[in-house]
Amino acid sequence: MKTYLVTGAAGFIGANFIKYMLAKYQDIKVVILDSLTYAGNLGTIATDIDNNRCVFVKGDICDRTLADELFAKYQFNYVVNFAAESHVDRSIENPQLFLITNILGTQNLLDAARQAWVTGRDDQGYPTWRKDVRFHQVSTDEVYGSLGTEGYFHETTPLDPRSPYSASKTSADLFVKAYFETYKMPVSITRCSNNYGPYHFPEKLIPLIIKNILEGKKLPVYGDGTNVRDWLYVEDHCKAIDAVIHNGREGEVYNVGGHNEKQNIEIVKLTIRTIRQLMTDQPEYRQILKKREIDADGRISVEWINDDLITFVKDRLGHDQRYAIDPSKITKELGWIPETCFEAGIEKTIRWYLENQKWVEDITGGDYMKYYEQMYAGR
């Protein structure tokens, strides 16, 4: 049985990852380490935790004593580090928290793994390592900076982070690489484009738009809405990480992307259209709407769910214009491809939110509302 330390798995991608892995492999044990910040929700993983194949530990990745205890107790084969402060807007408000979690936390885990996994020294003085171990860092395409209208991020593209968030993720990547070069530690890194799918915290674009439509609120779009992101369905990202930790080469970076570039405004309009269509096809979904107007047929109206809800707000400081990933290395070496087409993925995602409103209510308590009002006040 292989054991995994998965950090940050009460958050969006980590939760999807452990669900995917536990369903795919019967012979694994997963230990989740998560400090449950505003972005972590125990409810997301409650049905996965069984204290046998899946154990939850509440704790901070910066806590070295705890990390050492966990390595000693569970003899991990894999560390998959998702834990991070992940929201660019919040990094603009409070950069230091991003340094602490994203950089110091990663380095802390690297050192705990080094202590646990080194078996001796070779003739040249390099550490020798347990054969069946890997430290995997989950990183982002934002480390490459911003593109003009053409070109793609390759693994060899110079690192050029431009926000406190991406600067902290870049630094963490460099530490992971440094542990490979200095100690020959078995590591790998994936740099992925924007994810979407179930369990996404409603401060990010797609779940925010869904939530606001259901509440009859305006849909805030930064600047003129032309910023381009490459979108990937979250399960495709999980499959890419699975492929890299098991078959990717040690010390390598793999870009992961959906070949799916969209302007923010296109995403918002598609989300509006899809919600309206789903509510037209299945009128029972209209019960979720907080805005109650009655249409000509005597049903709760969906007429008002249209592009007029969009409101352009003051742009994010230093807002990167375009990200686009070239994932040909992971496709060529590991046979990974993005499997979920965008329209189908968006529909699946919206259906999930329509059917899991309790999850949204639980995760967006008072603190989130305070943050939301502060972010968009006066914009």
The residues that touch ligand NAD, with contacts defined as CB under 6 A, are 7-8, 10-14, 33-37, 39-40, 60-62, 82-86, 101, 105, 138, 140, 169, 192, 194-195, 201
Helix, strand, or coil (residue 201)? coil
How many angstroms separate the CA atoms of 108 and 266, rounded?
A: 40
Q: Which is nearer to ligand NAD, 180 or 203 (CB)?
A: 203
To the nearest whole angstrom, how small is the minimum distance from the Cβ of residue 228 to ligand NAD? Answer: 14
Position with the least CB separation from ligand NAD: 11
Task: Considering the candidates 152, 165, 254, 285, report the single residue annotated as catalytic.
Answer: 165
To the nearest whole angstrom, how small is the minimum distance from the Cβ of residue 192 to ligand NAD? Answer: 4
Q: Which is nearer to ligand NAD, 85 or 129 (CB)?
A: 85
Residue type (1 letter), 238: C
Task: Considering the candidates 34, 48, 85, 142, report the single residue annotated as catalytic.
Answer: 142
How many angstroms separate the CA atoms of 334 and 243, rounded?
A: 7
Q: Which is nearer to ligand NAD, 109 or 305 (CB)?
A: 109
Angle, CA of 97, 199 and 77, to the nearest 5°: 70
To the nearest whole angstrom, how small is the minimum distance from the Cβ of residue 12 to ligand NAD? Answer: 3
To the nearest whole angstrom, how small is the minimum distance from the Cβ of residue 9 to ligand NAD? Answer: 7
Whether 228 contacts 191, CB under 8 Å: no
Helix, strand, or coil (residue 23)? helix
Please say if 165 is a catalytic residue: yes
Please say if 339 is a catalytic residue: no
Please say if 155 is a catalytic residue: no
Q: How many other C-beta atoms are found inside a 10 Å radius of the C-beta of residue 307?
A: 11
To the nearest whole angstrom, how small is the minimum distance from the Cβ of residue 333 to ligand NAD? Answer: 20
Task: Considering the candidates 34, 60, 85, 141, report the single residue annotated as catalytic.
Answer: 141
Q: Is 153 exposed, middle or buried (0-12, 13-18, 19+ CB in 10 A)?
A: buried
37 Cβ neighbours under 8 A, 6+ residues apart: 85
Q: Which is nearer to ligand NAD, 83 or 330 (CB)?
A: 83
In Å, how far are 79, 155, 176, 251 from 126, measured between CA atoms?
21, 27, 16, 15
In Å, how far are 26, 206, 367, 368 from 350, measured between CA atoms?
30, 9, 24, 21
Q: Which is nearer to ligand NAD, 222 or 285 (CB)?
A: 222
> Annotated active-site positions, please?
141-142, 165
